[in-house]
Amino acid sequence: MSPVDKTIESLLLHNKHWAANRVHEDPGYFSRLSNLQTPKFLWIGCSDSRVPANQITGTDPGEIFVHRNVANLVVHTDINVFAVLEYAVTQLNVEHVIVCGHYGCGGVLAAMQRNAFNGVLDKWLRNIKDVYRLHEAELLACPDEKSRGRLLVELNVREQVLNLAKAVVLQKAWKSDHRPALHGWVYGLEDGIIKQLVEMRPGDDLHPLYQYENL
């Protein structure tokens, strides 16, 4: 079935086949998963339909805790991403938090333009404009708009990893448990390959002003 032929009904029909196949292959599959989830990884990715966390990493249900939003942002006033982070770090005890961006990200490319969406998207994407302003010299040194867009995708991922490291919930876990490790990745829509950009672990360099002393 080609993507354009898919309907709401065909999705539900597929689901019935999928569930039946899983039980056929492994009769205890659903009873096991319904009782417990112990993912080692938290994935913070873009909502883009072409970057599905499980498929591109070969992970099954139960293996990755997932949060996705437009342009994979970690915004300190976003109660949603921080509820997910807190649950993953303090309850699920994940060992790794991955921020995964992707080249050709519509959110990042829109933030490089001056067209308003006249809505909440403008406020959301302003966070990426701030990343641009922080790294403007490096971005302006790019030979063309395409490479500038790719660099901003990467810089945005790095900035979101930093935003994680600034969070109290994370610094507490680093101090008491020496986890989780933070990873910044970028996915290529054109080749399906994930590139590792940055990694941060407890004790890694973070501006002292962000390091809380009384945790």
Catalytic site positions: 46, 48, 50, 102, 105
Q: What is the DSSP pairing of strand 181-187 with strand 194-200?
A: antiparallel
* CA 94/CA 114 separation, integer angstroms: 39
Shortest gap between Cβ of 109 and Co ion (angstroms)?
9
Question: Taking CB under 5 A as the criterion, which residues in 52-71 touch Co ion?
Answer: none
CA 17 to chain centre: 30
Number of H-type helices and E-type strands within the chain: 9, 5
Nearest CB to Co ion, comparing residues 56 and 181: 56
- Partnered with residue 194 across adjacent β-strands are 187
> Interacting stretch for Co ion, rule CB under 5 A, among 3-11, 18-26, 40-48, 121-129?
40-48
CA 31 to chain centre: 29
> Interacting stretch for Co ion, rule CB under 5 A, among 44-52, 149-157, 170-178, 180-188?
44-52
Shortest gap between Cβ of 146 and Co ion (angstroms)?
16
Q: How far is CA 9 from CA 6, 17, 23, in A?
A: 8, 13, 22
Task: Show the site string, 84-123: x = touches Co ion by CB under 5 A, - = not.
Answer: ---------------------x------------------
The two three-digit tokens of residue 157, written as one number: 């991922």
User: Does position 46 bind Co ion by CB under 5 A?
Assistant: yes
Shortest gap between Cβ of 50 and Co ion (angstroms)?
8
Shortest gap between Cβ of 51 and Co ion (angstroms)?
7
Which of these, 215, 204, 107, 133, lies nearest to 164 by C-alpha position? 204
Total residues interacting with Co ion, rule: CB under 5 A = 3
Residue linked to tokens 């990343």: 131
> Interacting stretch for Co ion, rule CB under 5 A, among 9-17, 41-49, 77-85, 171-179?
41-49
Question: Applying CB under 5 A, which residues contact Co ion?
Answer: 46, 48, 105
